Amino acid sequence: MTANQTLHSGGCLCGAVRFSASGDPIGGNHCHCAMCRKDSGSGVSTFVTFPTNAVTWNGTPTDYESSPNRFRGFCPKCGSSLTWRDGGSAESIDLRLGSFDDPTPFKATKHLWMSTALPGFVELDPDIDHFDQRS
């Protein structure tokens, strides 16, 4: 990490788990899958993807293995959902957009799991790529 790289800070609702992501994200998505709905309690989940080694942690999210080798990280104290990661692909991690202190610099570039999208959320940003499942 070089000194002039932008740092994007964030964390959970209670502050027990904080993170800092350096540089630019490598992607962003709106996920419409049923597990993200359960995890977040909302109709669609928006994630910002960073290289795993660009993210440093202060406090440790607890991992929940929601499907084989797929992990969702949450604060063990307040329960805020923070991350999604593929245990078989260590290069990147998805951070929930809403967990950033300033989410305004980020954009989603694709919609995932449109095959299970709720009718009321299908038209969310029609100008970016839509995928029936994962991209």
Residue 75 within binding range of Zn ion, rule CB under 5 A = yes
Q: Which is nearer to Zn ion, 36 or 108 (CB)?
A: 36
Give the chain's largest Cα–Cα span. Answer: 45
Cα Rg of the chain, angstroms: 14
Q: For 32-62, give one letter per residue: b (16+ CB within 10 A) or e.
A: bbebbbebbeeebbbbbbbbeebbeeebebe
Q: Which is nearer to Zn ion, 31 or 117 (CB)?
A: 31
Amino acid at 38: K
Q: Which is nearer to Zn ion, 33 or 54 (CB)?
A: 33
By CB under 5 A, which span of 48-56, 70-78, 99-107, 122-130 interacts with Zn ion? 70-78
Among 14, 26, 90, 122, binds Zn ion (CB under 5 A): 14
By CB under 5 A, which span of 46-54, 67-75, 87-95, 119-127 interacts with Zn ion? 67-75
CA distances from 115 to 28, 36, 76, 110, 132 (A): 19, 14, 32, 14, 5
Residue 16 within binding range of Zn ion, rule CB under 5 A = yes
The contact set with Zn ion (CB under 5 A) reads 12, 14, 16, 31, 33, 36, 75, 77-78
